[in-house]
Structure 1
Amino acid sequence: MYEIKTTTKFRKDLKLIKKRGYDLKFLKEVIEILSNGDYKMNNYIKLNEDRWNNVKNDYTEPLTHEELEEVRNNPISVALTVGKKVPKEWFEKANGKKILGLACGGGQQGPVFAIKGYDVTIMDFSKSQLQRDDMVAKREGLKINTVQGDMTKPFPFENETFDIIFNPVSNVYVEDLENIYKEASRVLKKGGLLMVGFMNPWIYMYDADIVWDKPDEELLLKFSIPFNSKELEKEGKIIINPEYGYEFSHTLETQIRGQLKNGLAMIDFYESCDKRHRLSCYGNDYIATLCIKL
């Protein structure tokens, strides 16, 4: 076990982080926790959960009434990754409309599915994100079942419950993917579809601070992959910033074989690009897969 430590520089970053939408009281509490030797690294899931309960970004802004009215009058349009929408043909392949939005809270995709006539369940470890789905559902008169759950543990659903599982980029916050794909296969009906978005691991070879915040600095290879923030912190090579939490790049083998070996056959695939940062000049940084349960 490794005790998380902080630095003076990290504490000075509080003011900047507050400007980006964080509650300062929450951040001070995080600093106290991180400074406490009793806090162990196996609590990374809880720290990531707290991060999503307090962060404000593009993924925590629920859709407005006007945006949902636009959804009503157009074909379904949702995203698994940044930079590209899921092809509508993916949804047309489904045998039914019972859908699990896995790690999909925030009042964005869930309401879209509900408006389009899906029987919607949203599972997320963030209570705040689920509350956004509940808020939109109440405002719009929609039915959305929200479940707080940790996807590193057994899913709270019966075998063969869902026709579709929709899992946007989120497994980057989980160290071991084995349970996710095993449980996804278990709760999917035979012939059900698993739609997953994840990070292209190559982007983790570069320092994220330089990629996003220091456009004048040279881009240099810094980390080997798979990137594991827990191990890097243990080695003293990085300090975890609560604005981002713990992240894990995984390998393509882990992502793709993890689905295949659990009885899921890949039938489609695409890549997309986040053009907000410099790495977009060199390649796509997101991947989405469509698998069917055999």
Structure 2
Amino acid sequence: MGSAGVLAGALCLSVSAILVKLAGVDAATTAMLRCAIAVLVLVPLARAERHRCGGLSWQGIGWAVAAGIALGVDYAAWTAAIYQVGAGISTVLINVQVVVLPLLALVVDREQITTRFLVALPLMLLGVSLVGGLWDTAALGGNAVTGTLLGLLAGVGYGIYLFLTRRSTRREPGRLIQPLAWATTSAAVTTTLIAPFSGGLHLTGISAASWGLLVALALLGQVIAWLLIHHGSIRLAPTTTATLLLIQPVLALGLAAVTLAEYPTVLQLTGAGIVVAAVAIANGLHRRHRRHRKQRPDPTTPRTPSS
């Protein structure tokens, strides 16, 4: 159940990259509105959860606010990176979370990193880099350095956010919406404060179609995606959550082909296959499949009549 939730959340985040590009609104405004619109939806849901399960502790609120600051940095940097180096490459860079999340869990909470994960990690990074076109230097353009730094900064913020929300949600079970509401509010404030340094906010001149896409981005990419990921991640090891989220760029590759007519190259398809295989290795899925096949009875073997 946990894995299904994280994968469903990854699918929603993949759609988010497409919505950002289709909306065509500047990076700073997109990052802020994504959070601000989501807050309008999350606040009544959080109030209902508080009435049902009780409120968050002050410590829980503090963790959520800190997570929101990291998320705000992530969104501001990632959205800007999309316009600098494109959705594919920015999605690659943000996935340094696959290292940040398990590393924080190891250092802070002493959660061990499996040998399978360490073996599969180079493959995962190689596959994701191929998916994002990182090896195609001609596609990077003149903003490669700035875009790369922004993408890496977003990935660090992403990993910190995942770690903090997973930690706080585990400590106060049954409270899933309230931490997300606090974190999203904090992220909205953070992106607003960062905006003057990244082009400023431009709330006028946004078309009705773009507003519709921004609302869809807030609902799908903020509310639904993170509720699914938070619900799933508290049931999983940090390495499992981090590796499952690497499916996001693979899904984004397929969605970009369908919606934006951005068709993958042979290298990108090769990278997608490597990512899927590496995620399976990291989570031991190949061994489980093998054990399942061994445990299944041979249909050609005659059964002994029951007495």
TM-score normalised per structure 1: 0.25
Structure having greater relative contact order (Cα 8 Å, sep ≥ 6): 2
Q: Which has the higher helix share?
A: 2
Report the TM-score when normalising by structure 2.
0.25
